[in-house]
Structure 1
Amino acid sequence: MTSFLGYVLRKTLKNMRRNLFSNITTISVIGISIFIFLTFSLVAFNLSSILKIWENRFELVAYLKKGTLLNEVEMVLKRIRQLDGVETVNYISPFDAMEFMESKLGRQKNLLEGIQPNVFPASIEIRLKKDYWGQTRLTYVAKELSKIPQIEEIQYGKEWIETFSLVVYLVRVTQWILGGVLFLAILFIVSNTLQLTISSRKDEIEIMHMEGASPGFIRIPFYIEGAIQGVLGAAMAIGLLYIMYKIVLLAIEPMMKGWMAGIKILFFPYDRISWFLLGGILIGLLGSFIASIKFLRYIK
């Protein structure tokens, strides 16, 4: 069995060297096609990761009406804590809000000179339980908060979250539509390349068939050739994408401050990379299968 596999592999590599230019072209085209698909996949992967991080930081802010008394604030806090889905409640007084603004301004805090703390509205930061991070339950809590007379305004970035979620969805849809088109293109390229290889060896194949070689034995080298083209193309795509990822990372890392702090631009984990390589092999095998079906029909 080992000697048979060795023979088939040597024969496959010999055939690939014989048609070196067409094989390099095929691997390059496969690599570029998979690279385009993986680029969209990586963008979607990171957008989803960023969305999850922001959801974890997510909280509602309820701004109180001016003139709300301290005893009323205690009543409001108690009522909010009783709402379904509320995990923590934090009251921010006008003095606290001014101190926070000064810390944010740093050396420019002198811009606040002459401004009284009562300019800043008192607010309540409300963090929800994980089960309530969804848009439907979030809207429910916001409606319940709006029923409290002392609350003037509620902010929770509903429109922003909906817009960002839509962007993630559109990128994913584009990724799979483009992936489908590229998948068909790769199949066409691989099958056509192997069809040319089979045609150039037609006489040799006929002799092998006359000598008693089984159809499976004749087809195996072409299957292996397709698999090699697929995995090398996938490896090339992953390598190019990783280089581009590092270049982009070096360019944008210094700019990731403020609301972007703590967010990491990620590359695919090893298990997903393994699946991409396996996908390359399967695409190559399928392309070679299509080519052999079309050009080796005479082999019974």
Structure 2
Amino acid sequence: MSFWFTVIRQVGRNLRMTWGSQIMTLLTVSLSVLIFAFFYLIYTNMLHFGDKLGNDLSLIVYLEEEPVPEMQQQLISKIKAFDDVEEIRFISRAQAYQRFASQLGKNQDVLNDIPKDFLPPSIEVVPMKNLRSLNQVKLFSAYLARLPGTTKVQYGQDWVERFYYFTKLLSIIVLLSGTLLILTTIFMVAYTIRLTILGRQAELELLKLVGATNNYIRTPFLLEGLFQGILGSSLGIASLFVLFQWIKLHFSGPGFLNLFEFSFFSPMVGLTIIGVSILLCTLGSYSTMQKFLRI
């Protein structure tokens, strides 16, 4: 018990001796965690939105004429020849008109002077979930465009492509911010511990001469890196949570952001980020001790 009491007192002394660099290290670790967690939070929410988008994805094949039952069976066979699909729905001109009228709601009267067969017949193809990558959807769309009687294939190409490219860009940003977190955390903690060691080198050598064990001398520096990891990462995650709640409070309601259902990290993800940050800070402290602590 007296060992840990003495060690913690030494940690407090080290923090007071280098309080300026300690604060800078704390802020750097917090900012690095905040940047990484911010982009990772956006990335995970975009993935969730992408899954939801994929569940609603369908390819609409517009036809020149309504296919007769025999032709429908041939088209179904040709579509399934590419790969299995979840559902194939044939939409007649009348059904397309009814859908359009229901979407107009109270404004249906604008269709009074328009023929009920002005909309083309179509086929709605819902692909399997394992066939919903961007490249596969493109290949499937090109295949459907070659079906007999097809005039056009739509699946919201421009929007879907932009979404997938944006998600890919986010993954690169998350990777870069994670690298930034690793480098800055290890470097800043190592630099701060180095200053502490150099400032107390003579005292540490004296402690060794009077019989202090290696564990007694090394443990305060390891705990110093550990505390930096705990405080810095917790502050970064807490800051992100406050920012997240502020955005939800001020941007809730009708609008573009309300189209997305954003959610914060699960407790397990938050604890994992904090745990990795603690490990990196401790690693930075340990690497500096191995290099500069000569006992």
Note whether the superposition's TM-score is higher than 0.5: yes
Alignment of 1:61-76 (within 5 A): 61-65=60-64, 67-68=65-66, 70-71=68-69, 74-75=72-73
C-alpha displacement of 1:276: 0.7
Taking the aligned partners of 1:104 and 1:122, their CA distance within structure 2 comes to: 17
- In the alignment, the residues of structure 2 paired with residue 58 and residue 94 of structure 1 have an alpha-carbon distance, to the nearest angstrom, of 22
Instruction: Report the counterpart of residue 205 of structure 1 in structure 2.
Output: 204
Aligned to 2:222: 223
Aligned-pair distance for 1:257? 7.5
CA contact (8 A) 2:185 2:277 kept: no
Any runs of at least 4 consecutive aligned residues in structure 1 with deviations exceeding 6 A, and if so which?
Answer: none
Q: Pick from 268, 274, 278: which aligns with 2:265?
A: 268
Aligned residues of 2:18 and 2:195 also touching (Cα < 8 A): no
1:292 aligns with 2:283: no
Summarize the Cα distance change of 1:144–1:4 in structure 2 as closer, same or farther, 3 Å threshold. Answer: same
Q: In structure 1, how many angstroms separate the alpha carbons of the residues matched to 2:87 and 2:255?
A: 28
Output one character per residue of 1:165-220: Cα deviation in whole Å (capped at 9) or x when no partner: 22212221122223323422222221222222223333431221111223332111
Q: CA deviation at 1:80?
A: 5.3
Report deviation, 1:237.
0.6
CA change 1:82–1:193 in 2 (3 A) is closer
RMSD: 2.7
Which residue of structure 2 aligns with residue 250 of structure 1? 249
Partner deviation per Cα, 1:123-151 (whole Å, 9 max, x = no partner):
11111222322345434433443333222
**Structure 2 alignment gaps of length 5 or more:** none
Letter in 2 for 1:285: T
Q: Give the counterpart letter for 1:278 in structure 2.
A: G
- Residue 268 of structure 2 aligns to which amino acid in structure 1? D
Structure 1 partner of 2:99: 100
Q: Relative to structure 1, is the Cα distance of residues 185 and 74 closer, same or farther in structure 2, using a 3 angstrom cutoff?
A: closer
Shift of 1:242: 0.9
Q: Is the contact made by 2:60 and 2:124 (CA closer than 8 Å) also made in structure 1?
A: yes
After TM superposition, give the deviation of residue 119 of structure 1 in Å: 1.8
Q: Deviations over 1:80-130 (max 9, x none)?
A: 564331221122223322332333333333333422222222211111222
TM-score for the superposition, normalised by structure 1 = 0.85
Counterparts in 2 of 1:168 and 1:257: CA distance versus 1, 3 Å: closer
Deviation at 1:265, TM superposition (A): 0.9
Identity of aligned residues (%): 29
Amino acid at match of 2:195: L
Distance 1:14 1:190 in 2: 17
- Alpha-carbon distance between aligned partners in 2 of 1:176 and 1:58, rounded to the nearest angstrom: 28
Aligned equivalents of 1:164, 1:129: Cα separation in 2: 19
Q: 1:78 to 1:172 in 2, by over 3 A?
A: closer
Residue 241 and residue 114 in structure 1: after superposition, are their counterparts in 2 closer, same or farther (change >3 A)?
A: same
- Aligned positions of 1:147-166 closer than 5 A: 147-166=146-165
Report the number of matched residues.
294
Flag structure 1 segments of 5+ consecutive residues without an equivalent.
none
Tell me the TM-score normalised to structure 2 length: 0.86
Q: Distance in 1 between matches of 2:120 and 2:282?
A: 66
Q: Which residue of 1 aligns with 2:240?
A: 241
- Specify the code of the residue in structure 1 equivalent to 2:281: G
SS in 1 for 2:126: strand
2-side partners of 1:50 and 1:114: how far apart?
Answer: 40
* Separation (CA, whole Å) in 2 of partners of 1:182 and 1:264: 27
SS at match of 1:117: coil
Q: Displacement, 1:78?
A: 4.0
Residues in 1 aligned to 2:251 and 2:92: alpha-carbon distance in whole angstroms = 36
Equivalent position amino acid for 2:95 in 1: D
Residues 227 and 280, structure 1, Cα contact 8 Å, conserved in 2: no
Q: Please tell me whether the aligned partners of residues 81 and 88 of structure 1 are also in contact (alpha carbons under 8 angstroms).
A: no
User: Structure 1 residues 8, 111: closer, same or farther in 2, change over 3 A?
Assistant: farther
Give, as a single letter, the amino acid of the residue that structure 2 aligns with 1:23: Q
Q: Secondary structure at the residue paired with 1:254?
A: coil
Task: Confirm whether residue 277 of structure 1 aligns to residue 277 of structure 2.
Answer: no
